[in-house]
């Protein structure tokens, strides 16, 4: 299976105040599970990582380079406040399940995703999650 980007542009994540989510960590899981799956840093899959930290601008970054994470299967995405929380799979800021990576054949088949969150500031995810 091909490595497909999770977004057409470099994603930027923000915190509840609208500031870049600097130091936060992205992890991916097999759809509907808690089984961690790797990201790749490009479409070749040459460099795989189990999580990706966000830089000071809230962009995914691996070894100092901004990347568009790539994935090979339907997945769940989670954002953690720290690497320690991500390593423990505990305390996610939000999770989005049932995501199908866009295939680049331009079939115009949009999908809805389910969003769950531990965020207590009601409505925070509304308009904040852009892919």
Please write the tens of the pLDDT for every residue from 1-14. Answer: 689 999 889 999 99
**Rounded alpha-carbon distances, angstroms, from residue 60 to 10, 49, 67, 103:** 8, 12, 6, 20
CA distance 4 to 127: 24
The predicted structure's pLDDT at residue 61: 97
d(CA 11, CA 60): 7
Map out the domains of the chain as residue ranges: 4-115
CA nearest neighbour of 11 among 62, 58, 74, 64: 58
CATH hierarchy code of domain 4-115: 2.170.14.10
What would the pLDDT profile of 15-64 be if each residue is shown by its tens digit? Answer: 999 999 999 999 999 999 999 999 999 999 999 999 999 999 999 999 99
- In tens, the pLDDT along 110-120 reads 555 555 555 54
Contact in structure between 104 and 2 (CB atoms under 8 Å)? no
Residue 109 has what pLDDT?
53
């Amino acid at each position: 299976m091909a490595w497909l980007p999770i977004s057409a542009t470099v994603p930027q994540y923000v915190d509840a105040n609208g500031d870049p989510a600097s130091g936060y960590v992205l992890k991916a899981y097999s759809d509907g599970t808690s089984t961690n799956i790797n990201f790749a840093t490009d479409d070749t899959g040459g460099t795989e990582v189990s999580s990706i930290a966000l830089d000071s601008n809230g962009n995914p970054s691996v070894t100092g380079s901004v990347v568009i994470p790539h994935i090979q299967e339907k997945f769940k995405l989670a954002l953690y406040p720290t690497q320690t929380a991500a390593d423990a799979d505990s305390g996610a800021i939000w999770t989005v399940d049932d995501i199908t990576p866009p295939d680049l054949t331009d079939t115009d088949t949009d999908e809805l995703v389910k969003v769950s969150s531990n965020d207590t500031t009601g409505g925070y995810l509304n308009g904040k999650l852009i892919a």
